[in-house]
Every structure is written in structure tokens, then in C-alpha cells.
Structure 1
Amino acid sequence: MDFSVPQERKLVTAIPGPKSLALQERRLASVSRGAGTLANIYMDHGAGAILVDVDGNRLIDLGCGIGVTTIGHAHPDVAAAAAAQAAKLTHTLFTVTPYENYVRVAEKLAEVTPGDFEKHSILVNSGAEAVENAVKIARRFTGRRVILSLDHAFHGRTNLTMAMTYRPWPERAGMGPFPGDVFSVPTSYPYRDGLSGEEAAARTIDYIETHIGGSEVAAFFAEPIQGDGGIVIPAPGYFAAIRKYCDDNGIVFVADEIQAGMGRTGTWYSIEHHGVVPDLVTTAKGIAGGFPSRP
């Protein structure tokens, strides 16, 4: 396809350039420090894999909005669809005045998510809200309260999802108290622990049985590929053993695919590489190419 911006890197000023520096001064005067950035380079437009900053520098976009713009910037088909929708209808609350597109998204998700059973989706505002709703669904379904997540996990920055997130900094430091009945359990980290998937699963299960009790657990949350935790991929066989343990103990198995899912690993969802079908899937980011849509 033809791109409106050449697909190559080109610098015409120092980085950051003078216009970015001026915007940074305005930002410091008006934007909360809580909205931090890794680079104070301000973007103006983009196409494909290239972003153009306010000073005219062309930069390769390696961040993709943290896995959001996976089909590139300003794709003409996406831009045309967004413009057509904006001209037709911008917003109604689906639970008050529903519309077809919501239904179409749910139908498509039923096609591409793992499993051949009947499926249903709910669309919410963010990945963290998707995780919180998965917690509510699992607790309501099981009548239990305990939520498990893996060491090195990242599930979000709301109060509940911070409790499910493993590392103390920068997400959790000084942010407590957090909701109770949320526990981190050992994961499979073959690069560091040297364990097979089955051995690592046995360690996880022993920890659950020793410290918590499987009969108390509502849901087991797992990122099939941990992103913020260091790109950790469990050893083969780990999730199959955990899936069996969840089945044997009436625990809802949740695949948090918000970062890794939506075609980023060669399958629609990364859990498919493990031959495991989850009970619930949370997905976001790449599903909408940067536009609002979070199931």
C-alpha cells in the first residue's frame, strides 16, 4: 500500500527538537506528573510504522501505544471506517439505546477466541476494567472470593488490578491499602528456574494448597506471555497442568491477553500456543487499533 509518510527514519533536528521542548514546558505547567512519559518528543502525525514529531523528524514507532496500533498509523481503511461512523453516530450507551456494531464485535470475538462452546462478550472502557469485570464474573459464578495471579504479573493500575500486579514499583508503591483475597503465586520462568512446565505447575499448585486452598479460589489469572514482568513465557505443559487443576477444583481460568493477544504471536491469542482453552479472556489494545473498544 502507499503511505502518506515515507517508511524510513529521518532526523532533521536534535532530539527533542525546539517545538517539542516548547511543548514540554507547557506540559510541565498544566499536566499532572502522574502522566509520565519515556521520551519528551511530541508527535504530530504518522502513517504505517512511522511517526512524525512536531519538528518534522520521522521516527520508527517501536512502542505502538504499548501494543495498540498493531496495524500501523492512519491505515486508510480504518480512517475511512472511523470517519463514516463519526458522521453517522458517535455515542449511545448500549445498555440504554443499543446498536448493531456492538453485537457485530461480540459475534466476531466469538469466532476468534479459543474454544468451540457458546461465548458472550462485554465491552468496557479499558483493559484494567476488563480484568475487574472478569473478577466480578468469576466471583459471582463460583460464589468464592480469592483471586490468584502469577509472580511477575501485570494486570492494570486500578486499585484492584494493582493488587493483582506483582511488582511494587512503580505501580504499587505508596498506593495501599489494596483489596484483600488477592494472592500472587509462583509461575513458570524456565529461563531462571530451570523447571519443566509440569514441575513448575506442581510448585504453583503446592503453594496454593499450602497457603490458600483450592476450594477457596474463584479465579486464576494468567498472562500467557508476561509483558511488563519481563517477557516471561512459561515452559510447555505449565498451563495444561494449571488448567487441569482449575477444572478439578472449580476455579475459573482467565487468560489476560490484553498485551499479548490479538494476533501478536502468530495466533489470535497467545494462550493457543499452549493448547489450553480458558474460561474467560480479557482483551484490549490491538483489538481496535487505537480506537475505543475494550472487551
Structure 2
Amino acid sequence: MTSGATRLFLTAWTAAEKLPEGAVRGVMHVAAELAWLRRGAGVRRLEDNLARARPGVSRTDLRRLSRRGMRTYLRYYGEAFRLGALTPEQVTARVRLENPGFVTEQTRAGRSVVLALAHQGNWDLAGAWATTHLAPVTTVAEHLEPAEVFDRFVALRERLGMRIIPLDADRRVFSDLVRTVRGGGAVIPLLADRDLTARGLEVAFLGERARVAAGPAALAAATGAPLVPVTLRHERLHGARRRAAGSRWGLLVRFHPPVTPGAGDRAAQVQHMTQQWVDALAADIVEDPTHWHMLQRVFVADLDPDRLTRVSP
């Protein structure tokens, strides 16, 4: 992102916090349509990824899917820009839970839970809700460039009550997470559907091989905390809930059953748990792929062969 684009991005963010939600949504909808029509590298990559969830789909239908996907992707940014302006009551009204019983029982008992998430829906809204209604949230943030944009996202999440650990090479991120889990009463949601560290695991995903982050399963295996897959998607709001939310869109947070470590040594357990949460994610994506905002390379067939050679054991 150039310095000019950075200034424009941050200016738009500041303006969005002061504008009516409908106006922000309208602008982001237009931005999504323009990005989709331009069919740049991100849109083409999104289509390549969506094709794995819809094998054999026609080119026309794939374009329809990517158009809806870009709308939900830019909706996330519009919502993130305004998240700091929402009241706690609006945050609560926008979030609906499915199968939260296990996680709620764990946090009420003072135990920590590790959550494996993907780039779906609005994970920042989910984090804001969880830190108020479940337990204090600690998570890891990918270090974005430029630094001004990264700092703005970190400041937003911290203002909403989340503790953010930057994913920097010189930080002992995993040790920090282990201490947090062992301290009890914490929720650790980790976005893990993309390998950012070149130390990820290869798994079966949507009929192909893909590389995802080992972090959620490794943390659960190291601490004994349960690992729960969570999937997110936007949903239309109506009636009293729409009025309370101040929005036509809300968020469905679906908690899946906790995964099991399986047999074998620590490495085998981490691999087994990772495959289980990826299976839960894959089933959700197949059901409706347009909530998966993945505009980067995930599948082994798309990755740089030289990079794979460098990171292979």
C-alpha cells in the first residue's frame, strides 16, 4: 500500500466512524462491485479458492459466487471501520450463537478454551462479543504493512477489550499464549486457515492438499485446553433484533464440537486435531462459500514450489 493509499484508507476509516451505517454500507457495496468488475489478482485468487468448494461449477456461476464473496469481504471492512462506534447493546444484538454450551461451561468454570477460526464473516465483531460475554480474549494479529494500518487495527481491538499479540519474529508468541491459557478463564481465538509462518501443517481441505497454521492444535496439545472449531457468517436481521442492532446484517457464530487429540506422540496429535477442525471448516464452506474471505494462496497446488522446498522437513 502506497503512502497515498494509506492516508486514504485511514481517512476513510475515520470518516466511517462518523457516518450513518447505511451510508458506509453503500460505499463498501460500490467498492465491492468495482473490485469485482476489475477482476484483479485478489478476485481471481478468490475464484480459484471458491472453485475448490464448488468443483465442476460453471464459469458463470463461479463469477456469481465471487461477486457475493467480494460483497461480504468489503462488508467486513465497513463493519470493522464502525465497530468502535457501536454500543455494547448493538454488539450483543448483532451476534447470534449456535451450540455455545460447551464453551460457555468451560469459561464459567474458569477454564481456558482455544478456538480455531478462519477468515469468515466478521471475526472482530465476534471477538468484541466474546470478550464481554464469554471471557477475556487474547489473540494473535498478523503484522500488516504499512504499520499505520496495523496499529489502527490493534488499537481498535484493544479498545474493544481484546488483548492482541503481534505476530513478530522476535516475539515469543507461543510461550505467551501458553501462559495465558494456563492462567485460566481465557478465550484464545486464532485465525488459522492460512500458513503465515512457513511452519504450518499440510492437510486435506476441500478435496486437495492445503497448508494451514498449526497454532490452535499445538496450543491445545501443549496445555490440555480444549480446541473448538468456530465458523462465522453474516446473516440478515429482521424485526426487533434489526432495530436493536441498528443494522440489517448480523453475525452467526457457530461452535462445533471440540476436537479430540487422538493417539500417538505430540506431533501426531497436533496433526490429528488440525485435520479435524479443518474438516469442520470445509463442511461450513461447502454449505455457503461466499463467507470465506480468502484472497490468498492456501492450496499446495497454488504455492511457490521453491518455498515449499525450503520449509519441508
Per the normalisation by structure 2, the TM-score is 0.29
Higher CA-based Rg: 1
Instruction: Select the structure with the greater relative contact order (CA < 8 A; seq sep ≥ 6).
Output: 2
* Bigger strand share: 2
* Bigger helix share: 2
